[in-house]
């Protein structure tokens, strides 16, 4: 039966995605509990608030790699009834959900941008390059990291569709929607004109809320 294999792919992706690298790395490095710093987010942006640039870079890399790993490993479970490409998509979905809603942290995870990119790299490196180009263009033009990430995530389904990857495009439309929901606070500040720009320190009157 295909159903147990499909469920296994989702579970594999979820378990990989739910690894809270930001929390683990900061604790190992003696930087305390990242959830008590800044926005309380477990992602790389908040890790950077510890002043440890190396830890932030490692968190960004590992949060992306867990998405890529899920996509690449899941097809090894393939059977005649459960083809590898389908398993890769399901594992990618699981990894993204695992990062956003990790069971180990009472389902309070990150915003998923790094894992989004990692899953995309595993499925379509070319689309991942497109994501990066959109991010850079919007970030350079507006200086808003959050707007750049949201714009790039919204463009990703179209990039995949143009590449002939319709099933992946549908998956990433769902992931992009979840990402936008997780960025609700950033969206409100963008509309109000109070979102912090790249290179500008958050003022005392502004709430710390990571764009990624």
> Could you read off the pLDDT of 129-180 as tens digits, one per residue?
999 999 999 999 999 988 999 999 999 999 999 999 999 999 999 999 999 9
pLDDT tens-digit profile of 9-58? 999 999 999 999 999 999 999 988 888 887 788 888 889 888 889 999 99
Would the pTM of this model clear 0.85, i.e. be above it? Answer: yes
Q: What is the pLDDT of residue 39?
A: 76
Is residue 196 very low, low, confident or very high in pLDDT (cuts 50, 70, 90)? Answer: confident
**Cα–Cα nearest to 100, from 205, 3, 199, 181:** 181
pLDDT of res. 204: 41
66 and 75 in contact (C-beta within 8 Å)?
no
* Count of CA atoms in the C-beta half-sphere (13 A) of 61: 7
Tens of pLDDT, residues 104-136: 999 999 999 999 999 999 999 999 999 999 999
pLDDT at 207 over 70: no
At residue 125, the pLDDT reads 97
As separate numbers, helices (DSSP H) first and strands (DSSP E) second, the chain gives: 10, 0
Average pLDDT, the chain: 91
């Amino acid at each position: 039966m295909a159903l147990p294999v499909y469920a296994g792919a989702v579970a594999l992706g979820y378990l990989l995605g739910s690894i809270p690298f930001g929390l683990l790395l900061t604790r190992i490095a003696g930087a305390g509990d990242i959830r008590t710093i800044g926005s309380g987010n477990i992602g790389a942006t908040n890790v950077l608030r510890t002043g440890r640039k190396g830890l932030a870079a490692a968190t960004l890399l590992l949060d992306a790699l867990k998405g890529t790993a899920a996509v690449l490993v899941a097809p090894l479970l393939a059977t005649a009834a459960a083809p590898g490409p389908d398993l890769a998509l399901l594992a990618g979905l699981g990894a993204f959900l695992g990062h956003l809603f990790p069971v180990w942290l009472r389902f309070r995870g990150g915003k998923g941008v790094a894992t989004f990119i990692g899953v995309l790299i595993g499925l379509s490196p070319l689309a991942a390059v497109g994501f990066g180009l959109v991010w850079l263009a919007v970030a350079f033009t507006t200086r808003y990291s959050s707007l750049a990430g949201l714009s790039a995530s919204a463009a990703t389904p179209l990039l995949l569709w143009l590449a002939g990857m319709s099933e992946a495009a549908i998956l990433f439309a769902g992931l992009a929607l979840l990402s936008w929901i997780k960025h609700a606070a950033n969206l409100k500040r963008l509309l109000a004109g109070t979102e912090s720009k790249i290179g500008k320190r958050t003022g005392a009157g502004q709430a710390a809320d990571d764009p990624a």
